[in-house]
Homo-oligomer: A and B are copies of this chain.
């Protein structure tokens, strides 16, 4: 009826509790034949070690933590996270690790959660998303002694390994594609400037504009919401000599931009080309369907989990770049109607 304990397994296998623990955790201290017998007995009894007891005895919690900072008004960015979490879970559950997911409404709560996790031995390591430049969470994690993996561009200092996709490469693919179509004025509706990956994209965008000799390459920052994306779009399109193509930092803003353009009487892609980043179901569903920078977010999550697990295993965890997002051309991009020569 009640779940078997390690003592039950020990009794059934005719060994001590210690031997069972060693066998289960793959440690030296038991002969191979005994180990096999113990494992078989545990399996037969349906034994699983109690996590609380393990944690209390100082063993790894077999869990990793992830906090998600979501101010109420920015709930739109989610497709990325759901897919990321799916990828993380896939890899973690494969190794019998649990994922503790904690949503917080402000950044202070985030480090408070880390401290509680440390105190409770609740997790063995943590995954860090939405990295800021000079992120305050990193020193806290270090102080707490948590192995960590950053999901995003490698933070300065190089102390914590990261899994990232090279946004500069992706942006180059998008901008070169637009330039090849004949666009000379390309605008960018960016996300939150404090985020490390936003900074990388901004820098790459400026560099590309120079290299390709674009006539204009304006950039407006937003909070990722639809209304703010609409505002940015109006701002960009209202200028003298407005851009003929716009690259958006998320799907919701790209859709908002499409709507604004249509309201302004501009045809997409005739008068304005639109590129969304990341891709999502909405991008495929609107009309015209949006050209997007697509990546395998699930794989991204799996890779991040693998890296953290490696680090927990004591193996060296070195940052890796996953496949960059690549362009999926759809109906929202075309040559500008009246290519200019300036």
Contacts of A86 in B (CB 8 A): 70, 72, 75, 103, 105
In contact, A286 and B298 (Cβ under 8 angstroms): no
Bound state CA distance, A302 and B78, in angstroms?
Answer: 20
**Interface residue range, chain A:** 35 or more
Contacts of A3 in B (CB 8 A): 119
In contact, B52 and A121 (Cβ under 8 angstroms): yes
Contacts of A50 in B (CB 8 A): 56, 119-121
Contacts of A91 in B (CB 8 A): none
Interface residue A206 (Cβ < 8 Å from any Cβ of B): no
Interface residue A142 (Cβ < 8 Å from any Cβ of B): no
Interface residue A116 (Cβ < 8 Å from any Cβ of B): yes
Bound state CA distance, A121 and B102, in angstroms?
Answer: 19
Bound state CA distance, A89 and B103, in angstroms?
Answer: 7
Contacts of A230 in B (CB 8 A): 285
Specify how many copies of this chain sit in the oligomer.
2
Interface residue A162 (Cβ < 8 Å from any Cβ of B): no
Which residues A60-80 have CB closer than 8 A to chain B?
Answer: 61, 70, 72, 75-76, 78-79
Interface residue A11 (Cβ < 8 Å from any Cβ of B): no
In contact, B298 and A72 (Cβ under 8 angstroms): yes
A75-B83, A281-B226, A282-B252 known; A120-B287 Cβ under 8 A: no
Contacts of A227 in B (CB 8 A): 284
Which residues A112-158 have CB closer than 8 A to chain B?
Answer: 116, 119-122
Bound state CA distance, A255 and B287, in angstroms?
Answer: 9
Bound state CA distance, A322 and B120, in angstroms?
Answer: 35
Contacts of A15 in B (CB 8 A): none
Q: Chain A interface (Cβ within 8 Å of chain B)?
A: 3, 48, 50-53, 55-56, 61, 70, 72, 75-76, 78-79, 82-83, 85-86, 89-90, 93, 98-105, 109, 116, 119-122, 225-227, 230, 252, 255-256, 258-259, 262-263, 281-282, 284-287, 298
